[in-house]
Amino acid sequence: MRQVRTIRYRDIADDLRRRLDAGEFAAGRLLPSESELSGGYDVSRVTIRKALELLRAEGRVDSRQGLGWFVAAATFRQPLARLNTLESQLEKSGQRSDRRILDFAFTAAPPRVQAVLGVTSVLKVRRINLADGHPFALVTVWCPEQLGAHLSRVQVEKKSFYDLLGIDLGGAVQTIGAAATDPTDAELLEIPPGSPVLVCQRITSDAAGTPVLMSEYVFPAHRTEFIVDLPHVESSIAPSGLRLVE
């Protein structure tokens, strides 16, 4: 009986390996849940888990708590030392970058945006960034209406605000935290609701130091890392920029 069970989970691993090689599941994409695989192969979840563990030992799949199993892929590493766009970083990593506009509207600025940009009316653009055709980031950008009045939906789908505003930029301040995705964002990012995500808020200023853009990026936590270069050694061993959330 034990021998039959051993062969069975290896058979399932072989079939999953074949499906991976055929491109049924792209790099970084989530696999069906253990429950779904259990039903599809008509075996217990214990057997499915043994098959997946075998593939993990081969470096073919991986898993994260609260997320499930996904196809192993190189984590996209984003350096924070300079002001770059997602598109330029993806292209440098050899991945095709696309964007899909979800919302484009001139609207009243939410209180938190008004507090940063100092305006009551903004251009709000919400989009999905794609890496090799698959959702990689959910992005919302707020721009003062006077700066974005000349922009069209087609323009912001093809180019970044950095290229379109036509002003000299000074720099940006980024705040990165962890969260659990809500059902709406989860559907757009093609991950289960409640999955861990990294949320990055960026405030970009012009050369004079005036904030001109406020952006929010939501990244699936299993697909991205933020890298900070620390050239100087301080007496504290705490991570640079660490701040406790109140």
* Model pLDDT for residues 47-65, shown as the tens digit of each residue: 999 999 989 888 888 887 7
Q: 96-106: buried (b, 16+ CB within 10 Å) or exposed (e) per residue?
A: ebebeeeebee
H helices then E strands: how many in the chain? 9, 10
Residue 119, C-beta contacts closer than 8 angstroms, at least 6 positions apart? 109, 144, 145, 146
Q: What is the pLDDT of residue 1?
A: 41
Tokens representing residue 28 in the block: 């970084």
Cβ pair 197, 218 in contact under 8 A: yes
Cβ pair 17, 52 in contact under 8 A: no
Q: What is the pLDDT of residue 5?
A: 45
Average pLDDT, whole number, for the chain?
83
Question: What residue ranges define each of the domains in the chain, with the CATH number in brackets?
Answer: 2-71 (1.10.10.10), 76-227 (3.40.1410.10)
Measured CA angle at 137 (ends 85, 52), to 5 deg: 130
Q: For 90, list phi and psi in degrees, rounded to 5.
A: -65, -45
Q: Which residues in the chain come in under a pLDDT of 50? A: 1-5
Q: What is the pLDDT of residue 135?
A: 84
* Model pLDDT for residues 109-123, shown as the tens digit of each residue: 999 999 999 999 999
Q: Which helix (H) or strand (E) holds 99?
A: strand 97-108
C-alpha to C-alpha distance for 85 and 102, rounded to whole angstroms: 19
